[in-house]
Structures are given as C-alpha cells and as structure tokens.
A = this chain, B = another copy of it.
Amino acid sequence: MLIFDDRTKIVFTGDSVTDAGRGRPVGEGLWDGVGSGFVRDIDTMLNVYYPEKLIHIANTGIGGNTSQNLLDRIKPDLLDLAPDYAVICIGFNDVWRQFDTPALVTHHILPEQFEKNICAIIEAVKDNVRKLIFLTPYYMEPLKEDAMRARMDEYGEIVKKCCEKYDVQCIDLQKEFDEYLKYRHSSFIMWDRVHPGHVGSMIIARAFLRETGFDRQLV
C-alpha cells in the first residue's frame, strides 16, 4: 500500500540527476516545475494511478552538487519547505570529479568526508520529517573492475551504511541498473553513464514506487 498519505508533501533533493531542469527557487507546480527527470516520472505515475490522492511534490536538486553542497543548503532547500517525506539522491559528483578532473584534488570529497556529510544530512533531516528515503548513487557500468564503478560502489556502500545506522530507508539504484544492463548497453540509456534520460528515469521511478508501496495494476 502506497506509503504516501493524501494531502502530504514530498521534497526530492540532490544533484543534476534530481534537478533535471526544475523550476527555481522551488521546483513544483505548473509547467514542468518538477523538472523532466525521475521526479517528474514519479509525479506523473502517482497522479495517473492514484488520482484520488493529492501528493504535493517539490524538487530542489541542483546540478553539480556534492554531498558537501547539499549539506550546506539543507535548511533552506529541504527543512524550510516543511516536507512530510524527504527523498535524497547524492554522491555522483563526489565520485565523478575524482575521475574527470583528477588534478583538482582540493575539490574532491573523499570517502571519509562523504560519510560525515551523509550522516550530518540524516541527522539534520530525520526527526523533522515523517520519513526520509535515500537513493544510492550509481554508475551505469556493469563491469565492476571499472575504476569509477568501483569507487561509486564504495560510496553507495557508505550511503547504505549510514542509512542502516540511523534506520533510514535506502533504495539501491545501482542494483536496478545492473539488472537492466544485462539487456542493453549503457550507451542506450545515456552516453555518460550517469544522467538517466527517459529510460533511466523510469527505471529509478519504478524502483522508488515499488519500494514505497505502489499497488496498482499498470494496465
């Protein structure tokens, strides 16, 4: 049974995977306010399949954000919006910058710092919402010996570990993509193996809905 109650509010936040061109300052309401990514897919699916429930969805993801950036703005961009439910997907840029701009070492968020940031975010949010849900970062690369995939797995484990510690729900997106990549090459979803495009967004939305109690027939 869908865990989101009627007339409640869910705020999604994170980086470009979440952002997806959302409106500013808060991504909500008319005209693609929630962006064109997985948040929109979730919004659309809830509206189509649960028309009797009114669920207010808002998006405050910001492209390029690391866990540090998110922590720094967690009050205005999450807590001040007074969500009933909070959904956070962060960590891509913490990892990616170590590979695409390896020389800018002062900009990198290393595992120790990442863990501190995730824990700090959880502590700031947890008791202020009815429920907090984390989505792990992922890399759409099925070969685990790839250096960035390996690093991303490490960061995904940190997210899972922190969530476990504070008893926060955590949805493993890497697992979803690993399953899908048995059928299609990563370049089918997106050349850069990070931004999810239409297919990847729906894969994320599917996982999210499944793990939050979606119980309608598709057709």
Q: How distant is A76 from chain B, measured CB to nearest CB, in Å?
A: 17
CA distance A93 to B218 in the complex (A): 30
Query: Do A7 and B105 touch (CB < 8 A)?
Result: yes
A199 contacts B44, C-beta separation under 8 Å: yes
A147 CB contacts on chain B under 8 angstroms: 185
Known contacts: A104-B29, A148-B185, A209-B218. The answer to whether A203 contacts B56 by CB under 8 A is: no
Instruction: List A64-118 residues whose CB lies under 8 Å from chain B.
Output: 96, 99-107
Q: Which residue of B is nearest A107, CB measured? A: B29
Chain-B contact segment, one of A13-21, A45-53, A154-162: A45-53
Instruction: For the complex formed, measure the closest distance between the CB of A118 and the CB atoms of chain B, giving whole angstroms.
Output: 23
How distant is the Cα of A2 from the Cα of B154 in the complex, in angstroms?
A: 35
Q: Could you tell me if B185 and A105 are in contact, using CB atoms closer than 8 angstroms? A: no
Interchain nearest-CB distance for A36 vs B (Å): 8
Q: How far is the CB of A20 from chain B (nearest CB, A)?
A: 13
Chain B minimum-CB-distance residue to A54? B103
A56 with B217: CB separation less than 8 A: no
Beyond A54-B105, A57-B103, A96-B187: 9 further Cβ-contacts under 8 Å? A7-B103, A28-B104, A44-B202, A47-B188, A54-B102, A99-B188, A100-B191, A191-B191, A214-B218
Residues in chain A within 8 A of chain B (CB atoms): 7, 9, 28-30, 40, 43-45, 47-48, 51-52, 54-57, 96, 99-107, 143, 145-148, 180, 183-185, 187-188, 191-194, 198-199, 202-203, 206, 209-210, 214, 216-219
Those 5 A-B pairs whose CB atoms lie nearest each other, nearest first: A210-B219, A51-B183, A191-B192, A218-B218, A54-B103
CB<8 Å pairs between A and B, sample of 23: A7-B105, A28-B104, A29-B101, A29-B107, A30-B101, A44-B202, A47-B184, A47-B199, A48-B203, A51-B183, A52-B183, A56-B103, A56-B106, A57-B103, A96-B187, A99-B185, A99-B188, A100-B188, A102-B184, A143-B143, A147-B185, A192-B192, A210-B219
